Amino acid sequence: MTHSFPFSILSLRPGRIFLSSCSVAFIAGWFFSTALIWTQYETSDAEAGLSLRDVRWHFSGNPFQNRFETMVEGEMLEYLTIEEDANLLRQWSIQPNLPDFSEPNHKQFYQDNIHPIIELDCLECHEPGGKAEESPLRSYDEVLPYLERDRGIPIPSLLKLSHIHLFGMSLLLLVTGALAFSFLSPRKAGILSSLTGLGLLLDVGGWWSTKFFPETAFLVLVGGSLFGGSFLLTHLSLLHRYWRSPSSPHDH
């Protein structure tokens, strides 16, 4: 029996294996990205587990500490050669808020103790050409602005993240939707693809709303869960479809 394209590919075992390997790769990518998001967000409040507060503080900032403390407790912590250096960096960063603060002493302490740590463990990323070049830490004057209250992810970084995420995820959404409309029923493909697209928009939109309105952090969790759940269900459905009899073009 002959089958019209794209269903003819399902009549060949190599075709099924190829399509299945694509979906398995997408699902594996989903698990790795979920793990990455978990590790990025859960350190925001220095407590185990991912919470709404983690998301809120990640985008709008921790109201109880300065930006430098947040960096030290977050993405910079794993790069410190000596773990005890984290406490030294924190103690130095909060000195401007103390009654006996002396700027000359603070600057000298930076030159003698803080800069060597940053130069050894941080400048590879926090200088021009590094992956965190938008947050330079080459001198006392460049570090000083980070001693202000933590206001979350900077606008330039959020713009960059949104740009990359929307373009990359939109292509992923397009490929997944094309596969769904090719091999699943129109109704099922339409529902799953629409939910995936809606989740993507809610997720990225939630980043920006949380940045300025911290109480909307739930949108990030709702959008991310909707996108991830619909995306995963789509590829699980596709895997099931690939190994069924290809005699009918759509599930009913």
In the 8-state DSSP scheme, what is residue 110? I
- Does residue 229 surpass a pLDDT of 90? yes
- Say what the pTM is: 0.73
pLDDT-based confidence at residue 102 (cuts at 50, 70, 90): confident
Instruction: Report the percentage of the chain scoring pLDDT > 70.
Output: 90
Backbone dihedral region for residue 73 (phi beyond 0: left; psi -120 to 50: alpha; all else: beta): alpha
Q: What is the mean pLDDT of residues 157-171?
A: 93
**CA distances (Å), 146 to each of 72, 74, 92, 243, in order?**
11, 14, 12, 55
- Does residue 130 surpass a pLDDT of 80? yes
Considering only residues 131 and 222, tell me which one the structure prediction assigns the higher pLDDT: 222
Query: Alpha-carbon distance 165 to 169, whole Å?
Result: 6
**The pair of three-digit structure tokens given for residue 72, joined into one six-digit string:** 């030290």
Q: What is the mean pLDDT of residues 31-47?
A: 79
83, exposed or middle or buried, with CB in 10 Å at 0-12, 13-18, 19+? exposed
Q: What is the mean pLDDT of residues 57-70?
A: 86
User: ω into residue 6 within 30 of 0, thus cis?
Assistant: yes
What's residue 8's pLDDT? Answer: 64
**CA distances (Å), 132 to each of 9, 20, 75, in order?**
45, 37, 10
**CA distances (Å), 66 to each of 37, 39, 90, 112, in order?**
23, 21, 9, 22
With tokens 């926090």, the residue in question is 126
Query: Alpha-carbon distance 133 to 123, whole Å?
Result: 9
pLDDT-based confidence at residue 246 (cuts at 50, 70, 90): low
Point out the least confidently predicted range of 62-66, 204-208, 226-230, 247-251: 247-251
